[in-house]
Amino acid sequence: MNRVFLTAFITVIIAQILKIIYNFVREGKVDFRIITSTGGMPSSHSASVMALTTAVGIESGWNSPLFGVTLFFSLIVMYDAAGIRRAAGRQAEILNRIMDDLYQGRTLYEEGEKLKELLGHTPVEVIVGAILGVVVALMLYKYVW
C-alpha cells in the first residue's frame, strides 16, 4: 500500500466533492459536471500536491531531498493554477466576447465553439486547496495510516 499516493488520491476526491457542495451552496443546484471540470473552489490541484508534499514530509522527513522536490513541484503547480491557467481563462473570456460581438445575429458562429473560460483558480481557491491538502494528509496519517 502506497500511503503517499493514496493520501494525494483521497484528497483529490475530497476536493472534488467539496466543489459540488460549494457550487450547490452558491447556485442552489447540484451539478455533477463539476467533478470533471477545471477551476472552482477549492483547487484540487493545490490540494493534491500539498497532500502529496505533506505525506512525503511525514514519511521521508522534512529535511529530505524528496520533500524538497515535492515542495518545489507543488509550488510550481499552484503558481500555474493561479497564474498562467487563470490568465488563459481570462483571455478565453475576452475572445468569446469578441466573437459574440462580431457574429451577433449571424449564423456563421456556432454557440458550441466558445472557448473554455474556467481554466485556472483564484489565489483564494489555491490557498484553500493547499490548506485542505495539508489538513487531509495530517488527518490521514494521524487517524488512518
The number of C-alpha atoms within 13 Å of 121 and in the hemisphere containing its C-beta is 26
26/52 same-domain check: yes
My answer on whether 130 and 112 are in the same domain is no
Does 63 lie in the same domain as 10? yes
Task: For residue 88, give its domain range.
Answer: 84-119
Number of domains in the chain: 2
Distance of CA 85 to the CA centre of its chain: 11
Domain co-membership, 23 together with 89: no
Give, for all 145 residues of the chain, the pLDDT tens digit.
Answer: 899 999 999 999 999 999 999 999 998 999 888 887 777 899 999 999 999 999 999 999 999 999 999 999 999 999 888 776 666 667 767 777 777 777 675 555 555 566 555 556 788 999 999 999 999 999 999 999 9
- Cell numbers standing for residue 137: 494528509
If 0-12 CB within 10 Å is exposed, 13-18 middle and 19+ buried, where does residue 5 land? exposed
65 and 129 share a domain? yes
- 39/126 Cα distance (integer angstroms): 10
Whole-number Å distance between alpha carbons of 100 and 32: 28
Regarding whether 61 and 16 lie in a shared domain, the answer is: yes
Taking the model in full, what pTM does it have? 0.78
Does residue 134 share a domain with residue 106? no
Q: What does each C-alpha distance from 118 to 34, 49, 57, 80, 92 come to in angstroms?
A: 11, 20, 32, 14, 9
